[in-house]
Amino acid sequence: MIERIRVIGIGMGDPGHVTGEATRALATVDAFLVADKGDAKSDLVAARDAVCDALIPADHAYRVVEVTDPRRGPDAERDAAAYDRGVRDWHAARVEAYAVVIDGLADGETTVGFLVWGDPAFYDSTIRVVDALVERYAAAGVRVEHDVIAGISAPQLLAARHRIPLNRIGAPIHITTGRRLLDEYDPSLGDVVVMLDGHLACAELAGAYPDLELWWGAYLGTPDEQLVHGRLADVVDEVRRVRAEARERHGWVMDTYLLRPPAGAPERPGPPPFPETEPLTDGVVTVRPLTAADWEVVRDEHNNEESLRWDFAGEPLTDEDARRKTAAARLEWRRGRAARFVMTDAESGQGAGVIGIMRMGPPGTGLVGYGVLPAFRGRGFTTRALRLVSKWALEDAGLARLELGHKVGNEASGRVAAKAGFRAEGRLSGRLPNPDGTRSDEIYYSLTREAPAATGPAEPGEPTEPNGPTDRPAG
């Protein structure tokens, strides 16, 4: 009768990789359930048996029950949704197959063990399957305890064999699959570890990123271990060849690798980050970089009637949307994509609106957007904020030209632009979408370094309407 399920990471197949904790756990298991995947990977089965033979004391009786693994369809041509569905169905079928065996355990067999290749936390479904089993028994009134014992994973062994750390100082590590690599690769990810790569996806990065450093390892921890290290473009053919020979010999290949941008390479391609700034103020209005704490200002500026009237989609922001947007502001700033500010009343510190600059189009050009909360309209706040931000952008942030635009009819927005020193440059036909599917012309303005912002008073009479915050070019 089942009482406990143990998920035990056994490392890469060498009994020497099994931790002391895992060794002790192995000696408590009455029945190991192992997926029988056919004989394609019989080397793995042999490695697993070697671990049990080497580490379980001779006087401890246990049995190994092979459970036929439900078949999974081919992954290659599936889209992501079909892939997820396929994996979920496969897990459900596994749960059923294991439950049949567990229900048939002898009276004295109370502890079931699952042996997991490497560590159960890395691309392995055993923990999810065991959770489902525990839930299934709980629903039937049977309490089953379970625990997870860590093992040495393939990325750890890869790093150890190459004698490297997986991360650079204080930097993140991105772990992904070969299936996803080409879609998501960007040098800004930093160090990228790739697992489950049947097709050596990194070969397709060699053209665009020849200088990436590659540390590759196959059959790690086994007598057939293979290591290759070098500049991606230089070693990719060697890896291809070694891989093909190994596949020929074994019928399968298990490899993992690390891709690292070369030392001294810019952290990411694209524009430089916007410079850090203290709050900017003229004594009446203060603008400071937007933070996650400002999400209510972003939501309220977007969701009032006037703003929605000039919006592209006319859809209110949910709290979650506003939170996500403000949380992303810091990263956008550092990536040089957008410098978003919150406008506040200098005296009370209360949020009054939003203003920002998106870097887009030719280098040195920024697109400005702004919007003020109804309670602060007609007080010259937006003009003041626009002057502060424009001065910063042209003098401190390295931009040479600022642009902004508003939908024809949103005249108050144009008055703000003009008072802040922007010059009207023309009318762009049908540039801006409306919520009803039609499109509006846009009145376009610019301000360049050579023609600095006006310094006169910011009289009342400024927009009752926003020109659109920084994620819409104009409103």
Ligand X SMILES: C[S@@+](CC[C@H](N)C(=O)[O-])C[C@H]1O[C@@H](n2cnc3c(N)ncnc32)[C@H](O)[C@@H]1O
Rg (CA), the chain: 30
Sign of CA dihedral 189, 195, 196, 199: positive
**By C-beta, is 14 or 442 nearer to ligand X?**
14
Scanning 30-38, 254-262, 353-361, 429-437 for contacts with ligand X by CB under 6 A, the matching segment is: 254-262
159 lies in the binding site for ligand X (CB under 6 A): no
Which structure tokens are listed for 116?
């997991």
Bridge partners, 445 (sequence order) = 404, 424
Minimum CB–partner distance for residue 132 and ligand X (Å): 18
Which x/- pattern, by CB under 6 A, does the window 203-222 give for ligand X? --------------xxxxx-
State how far the Cα of 202 lies from the Cα of 178, in Å rounded to an integer.
Answer: 8
**By C-beta, is 217 or 469 nearer to ligand X?**
217
**By C-beta, is 7 or 355 nearer to ligand X?**
7
Minimum CB–partner distance for residue 383 and ligand X (Å): 58
Among 14, 30, 119, 301, binds ligand X (CB under 6 A): 119
Which structure tokens are listed for 54?
């080497």
How, if at all, do strands 173-177 and 191-195 pair? parallel
Give the Cβ contact number of residue 360 at 10 Å: 13
Minimum CB–partner distance for residue 188 and ligand X (Å): 23
Residue type, 270: G
232 lies in the binding site for ligand X (CB under 6 A): no
The 3 state secondary structure assigned to 127-169 is HHHHHHHHHHHHHCCCCCEEEEECCCCHHHHHHHHHCCCCCCC
176 lies in the binding site for ligand X (CB under 6 A): no
**By C-beta, is 146 or 401 nearer to ligand X?**
146
Minimum CB–partner distance for residue 154 and ligand X (Å): 3
Among 67, 189, 196, 418, binds ligand X (CB under 6 A): 196
Among 8, 154, 420, 458, binds ligand X (CB under 6 A): 154
State how far the Cα of 69 lies from the Cα of 40, in Å rounded to an integer.
Answer: 13
Angle between helices 381-395 and 411-419 (to 10 degrees): 50
124 lies in the binding site for ligand X (CB under 6 A): yes
Task: Tell me, by CB under 6 A, how many residues bind ligand X.
Answer: 20
**Any alpha helices (H) in 355-453, and if so which ranges?**
381-395, 411-419
44 lies in the binding site for ligand X (CB under 6 A): no
Instruction: Annotate 148-157 with b (16+ C-beta within 10 A) or e (fewer).
Output: bbbbbbbbbb
**By C-beta, is 154 or 322 nearer to ligand X?**
154
Among 122, 185, 215, 295, binds ligand X (CB under 6 A): 122
Minimum CB–partner distance for residue 255 and ligand X (Å): 5
195 lies in the binding site for ligand X (CB under 6 A): yes
**By C-beta, is 226 or 382 nearer to ligand X?**
226
Among 111, 256, 390, 440, binds ligand X (CB under 6 A): 256
The residue at minimum Cβ distance from ligand X is 118
Which structure tokens are listed for 253?
């290949």
Minimum CB–partner distance for residue 41 and ligand X (Å): 10
- 230 Cβ contact partners less than 8 Å away, ≥ 6 residues apart: 213, 214, 238
**By C-beta, is 250 or 449 nearer to ligand X?**
250
252 lies in the binding site for ligand X (CB under 6 A): no
Among 117, 274, 310, 381, binds ligand X (CB under 6 A): 117
Among 14, 191, 255, 403, binds ligand X (CB under 6 A): 255
Instruction: Determine contact, residues 432/407, Cβ cutoff 8 Å.
Output: yes
**By C-beta, is 218 or 290 nearer to ligand X?**
218
Nearest CA among 332, 211, 232, 200 for reference residue 341 = 332
Angle, vertex CA 122, rays to CA 115 and CA 168, nearest 5: 140
Bridge partners, 196 (sequence order) = none
22 lies in the binding site for ligand X (CB under 6 A): no
Which structure tokens are listed for 276?
């850090």
**By C-beta, is 153 or 440 nearer to ligand X?**
153
Scanning 83-91, 114-122, 278-286, 444-452 for contacts with ligand X by CB under 6 A, the matching segment is: 114-122
Q: Assign residue 261 a region: left if phi > 0, alpha if psi is -120 to 50, beta otherwise?
A: beta
- 391 Cβ contact partners less than 8 Å away, ≥ 6 residues apart: 280, 452, 453
State how far the Cα of 177 lies from the Cα of 165, in Å rounded to an integer.
Answer: 20
Residues of span 262-281 touching ligand X by CB under 6 A: none
Which structure tokens are listed for 282?
């003229």
**By C-beta, is 217 or 356 nearer to ligand X?**
217
Minimum CB–partner distance for residue 79 and ligand X (Å): 21
**By C-beta, is 162 or 449 nearer to ligand X?**
162
Scanning 121-129, 301-309, 367-375, 437-445 for contacts with ligand X by CB under 6 A, the matching segment is: 121-129
Angle between helices 319-334 and 295-303 (to 10 degrees): 120
Nearest CA among 253, 260, 143 for reference residue 200 = 253
468 lies in the binding site for ligand X (CB under 6 A): no
Residues that bind ligand X (CB under 6 A): 12, 116-119, 122-124, 153-154, 195-196, 217-221, 254-256
